[in-house]
């Protein structure tokens, strides 16, 4: 499961129909020391930047001299982060599933920084539980944010990436490689973004744009901690075979993403063992279909109590934002 928690996905204008005013909120230039390297002076956009993978990646990019555009649904958290970065930065409020908003964000980022070299499509949400009993709206929202939101982000920023011959990093997950019972929406969305990014790589390569896919296992973010709050989901994860049953520290995972961005890699593995999963992914559906059936039977009497809806603080932020917009509150 990827941990793009905040995976909030947003940045510069409100979604269609929202009454909240859109626009740029300038960040502050920090005083921290920068590390000289090939990334110095580049401009990167990070969606879902308010927490988790997106937040730490923004901080590490900034420490390497990258000017950072933060996009997300939590303006207060983004403002605080922007004020702590070592390099020039700014943030945008927007829903990544809103094409009009994200197109406006892309134009404003280009105006603000003059160019865009890197876009990290990190925004995402997650939910769990049996599909048959799942909340239909939450299930659909996982697909909308993780898959549609990633495509909307790319559609908005590809013109400026083509100008700079830049790099798009799509954050996927172990869930793109292997199916997992109780995670149908998340697996579907991450399998979708993996396939979409592979297609896009072939389409835009002649323009000089490189496309990478990042794979993460269970990483210590609000999203994973939120999923673990449900007893059944936590126990099921603990019963996975090693090393898929571990929660991995955030720092080393983000360091691998940073290295992948610097190299403009086609594939980035936040945990090294994930590379080996590619060679066995063909047998996994049948294997998990057999083993998963036994696990579902074991947990059957307890499945009705699994929490419905989005998980973690990022999921809560997404639900809060949608509720605000539905009520017409600015």
Residues with a catalytic annotation lie at 186
Q: Measured between alpha carbons, how far is 193 from 151 in angstroms, rounded to an integer?
A: 8
Q: Single out the residue of 10, 97, 95, 86 nearest to residue 45, CA to CA.
A: 10
Q: Is the dihedral of CA 42, 48, 52, 55 positive or negative?
A: positive
Residue 259 buriedness (CB in 10 A; 0-12 / 13-18 / 19+)? exposed
Q: How far is CA 235 from CA 106, 215, 245, 246, in A?
A: 42, 23, 10, 12
Q: Do the bridges between strand 89-93 and strand 67-72 make them parallel or antiparallel, or are there none, so unpaired?
A: parallel
SS in 3 state form for 202-261? HHHHHHCCEEEEEECCCECCHHHHHHHCCHHHHHHHHCCCCCCCCCECHHHHHHHHHHHH
Residue 8 near residue 46, CB atoms below 8 Å:
no
Count CB-CB contacts under 10 A for residue 292: 16
Provide the Cα torsion 267, 49, 47, 252; round to 10°. Answer: 0
């Amino acid at each position: 499961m990827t941990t793009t928690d905040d995976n909030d996905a947003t940045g510069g204008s409100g979604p269609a129909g929202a009454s909240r005013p859109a626009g740029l909120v300038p960040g502050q230039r920090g005083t921290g020391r920068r590390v000289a390297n090939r990334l110095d002076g580049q401009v990167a956009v990070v969606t879902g930047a308010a927490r988790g993978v997106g937040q730490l990646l923004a901080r590490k990019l900034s420490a390497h001299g990258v000017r950072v555009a933060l996009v997300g649904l939590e303006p207060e958290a983004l403002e605080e982060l922007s004020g702590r970065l070592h390099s020039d930065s700014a943030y945008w409020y927007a829903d990544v599933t809103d094409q009009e908003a994200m197109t406006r964000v892309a134009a404003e980022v280009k105006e603000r920084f003059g160019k865009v070299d890197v876009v990290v499509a990190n925004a995402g949400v997650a939910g769990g539980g049996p599909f048959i009993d799942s909340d239909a709206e939450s299930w659909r929202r996982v697909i909308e944010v993780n898959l549609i939101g990633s495509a909307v982000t790319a559609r908005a920023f590809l013109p400026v990436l083509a100008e700079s011959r830049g790099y798009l990093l799509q954050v996927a997950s172990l869930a793109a490689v292997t199916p997992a019972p109780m995670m149908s929406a998340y697996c579907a969305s991450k399998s979708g973004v993996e396939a979409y990014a592979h297609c896009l790589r072939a389409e835009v390569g002649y323009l000089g744009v490189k496309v990478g896919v990042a794979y993460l296992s269970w990483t210590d973010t609000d999203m994973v901690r939120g999923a673990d709050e449900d007893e059944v989901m936590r126990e099921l994860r603990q019963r996975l075979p090693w090393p898929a049953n571990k929660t991995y520290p955030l720092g080393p995972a983000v360091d691998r993403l940073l290295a992948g961005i610097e190299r403009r890699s086609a594939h980035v593995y936040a945990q090294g063992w994930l590379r080996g999963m590619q060679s066995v992914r063909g047998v996994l559906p049948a294997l998990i279909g057999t083993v998963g059936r036994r696990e579902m039977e074991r947990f059957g009497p307890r499945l009705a109590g699994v929490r419905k809806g989005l998980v973690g603080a990022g999921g809560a932020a997404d639900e809060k934002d949608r509720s605000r917009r539905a009520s017409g509150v600015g």
